[in-house]
Amino acid sequence: MSIASGRTRPLAHRLLFPALAEAPPLVADAALSAELYDVLALALRAFVVPWWAKLSRYDRQLLPAITRIAAAAVHALDARIHAAQLAPLLLVHAPALLAQHYRDYRTARAKLHTSYAPAASLPQLFHQLQPHIAVSPDGRLDPEYFRHLLDHILRVCLPPDDHQPDTERLIVRELILNVLLDVLIPKITQPWFLHRSILDLLHPQLPQQHRPPPATSSTIIVLVLSAIQAISGACLALIHAYKSTLSTIKRVNKRNPSPSQHYAEPLLTTFAEVFTLQDRTASTTLLTTARIITDFSSSFLDRLLPHLLESQLSPASILSITRTAKRTLFPTGYPAPTPIDPTPEEQAEFRARLVAWRPRGALATCLLPLLLGPDPSKTLDAALDPLSSTPCNVHLVLFLLDLVVLELFPELALSVGNGNSDGDSGS
């Protein structure tokens, strides 16, 4: 979707920079800067202009002032992201949190309706294992926690002159707060949303029944040509994979060696916890073998995994995500109507399709019973169960959010005892 008109300046320029010929760069990538400005302009037009025009019809300075504050925050945040250690964050700490979530959920479920807690519900038992001041046992969020968090982030990211005016800063804070508490967190913690997201990543195809055609000479010729085409396609794919592998190995070997981090170990531990590999002899043997291999190749894996992570977090990938988010949130230039949640039958179908999913390929078919046991559907269903409670999922999202915030703003972990807070944080 393009918000530019052939006869007028783009909407972002008209709303955010009415006195400038060109918008200043927001990030290093020019295309990403333009998309971010588009999203900001669409959000301000939808959520700020309607009520501000009633208060002050001819005042055109509020939106540029909000843009200046948002741009300063994005500049500071971009610098902190580039300085952060993303590999330990995403390859070590985040998988450890996910494994702990699975472990505590199964512990809480095992105590349900027992003498340990005869009257407690599952979310209450889980909250006892993972207490968080920002969420109640039933999953309700405390907005004051997020206000204090956003106040600190804005205080650190904004210059003093931009931080002092309360109006613009509080508008930015409340906009972010509303998106987090009213849109983002309630949506991504729904079990059906997680199930559908996993389905979108796996791209499972429904089985189709084909009736074999009658055996004729033309059919045999078509089958032979199809086999030749399939073999040639497989050979080309192998050649491409070989060249790509060599190129990746060369780039990885050029990276500066870092202290041993054993990035593969947390990933294996999380995989084992999710799919309960320790409960079966064959899967435990495969897990032990994989750990031995990763220990021997830890030096190479400690360079390979960060390289693969950086390739997935490239500016092109972030640009694609931003464009998708803009089309989803503002399909016609204005906020899209709230989509209707799937019916219980549709939600059950999402989970059933995940439980029935099987990987393709002869090797995967052979390894699947060894990893998931004689009944893979039962193992997959058990792997989805810890994601089936919205209050428990809220805890997981909040701990992941805290993890990211503390990585970008480590001074938050050191300022707990200082008692620093803004006087307007509760407004």
pLDDT the model gives residue 15? 85
Task: Label residue 422 by pLDDT band (50, 70, 90).
Answer: very low
Look at residue 419 in the predicted model and tell me its pLDDT. Answer: 46
pLDDT beyond 60 at 426: no
For residue 242, the model assigns a pLDDT of: 64
Tell whether the model's pLDDT for residue 42 goes beyond 80: yes
Lowest mean pLDDT among 65-79, 209-223, 239-253, 395-409: 209-223
Q: Is the pLDDT confidence value at 31 over 60?
A: yes
Residue 5 predicted with pLDDT over 50: no
**Residues 169-187: what's their mean pLDDT?**
85
Residues 50-79: b if buried by 16+ CB within 10 A, e if exposed: eebeeeeeeeeebbbbbbbbbbbbbbbbee
Of 67-71, 245-249, 374-378, the one with minimum mean pLDDT is 245-249
Check residues 320 and 422 and name the one with the higher pLDDT.
320
384-398: pLDDT as tens digits: 999 999 999 999 999
- Find tokens 């694609």 and name the residue: 320
pLDDT band at 280 (very low <50, low <70, confident <90, very high): very high
Q: Which residue has the higher pLDDT, 364 or 282?
A: 282
Confidence of residue 234 (pLDDT cuts 50, 70, 90): low
Read off the pLDDT band of 416 (50, 70, 90): very low
Q: What is the pLDDT of residues 357-415, one digit of tens each?
A: 888 877 778 888 889 999 999 999 999 999 999 999 999 999 999 999 999 998 887 64
Output the six-digit token pair for 167: 């109006």
Structure tokens at 381: 């269903």
Find the mean pLDDT for residues 234-243: 70
CB 190 within 8 A of CB 395: no
Q: Is the pLDDT of residue 336 over 80?
A: no
Distance from C-alpha of 296 to C-alpha of 167, rounded to nearest angstrom = 58
pLDDT value, residue 2: 44
If you average pLDDT over residues 56-81, what whole number do you get? 84
Rounded mean pLDDT of 208-225? 60
Residue 62 contacts residue 48 (beta carbons within 8 Å): yes
pLDDT recorded at residue 427 = 36
Contacts of 384 (CB under 8 A, 6+ apart): 195, 351, 354, 355
| CB-CB contact of 204 with 353 (8 Å) | yes
Q: Say if residues 224 and 374 touch (Cβ distance below 8 Å).
A: no
Residues 6+ apart with CB under 8 A from 111: 117, 120, 125
pLDDT, average across residues 89-111: 95
Q: Where is pLDDT greater, at 45 or 383?
A: 383
**pLDDT over 80 (residue 25):** yes
Is the separation of the CB atoms in 303 and 257 below 8 Å?
Answer: yes
Torsion of CA 44, 170, 143, 54, to 10 degrees: -50
As a whole number, mean pLDDT of residues 84-109 equals 94
Token pair listed for 416: 């707990």
Rounded to whole angstroms, the maximal C-alpha distance in the chain is: 85
pLDDT at res. 348: 93
228: left (phi over 0), alpha (psi -120 to 50) or beta: alpha
DSSP string spanning 131-187?
--TTB-TT--B-HHHHHHHHHHHHHHHS-HHHHS-HHHHHHHHHHHHHIIIIIIHHH
pLDDT at 361: 75
The whole-chain average pLDDT of the chain stands at: 83
Segment 197-206 mean pLDDT: 75
Q: What is the pTM of this model?
A: 0.80
Distance CA(249)–CA(245), nearest Å, equals: 6
State percent of the chain over pLDDT 70: 84
Residue 241 has pLDDT above 90, yes or no: no
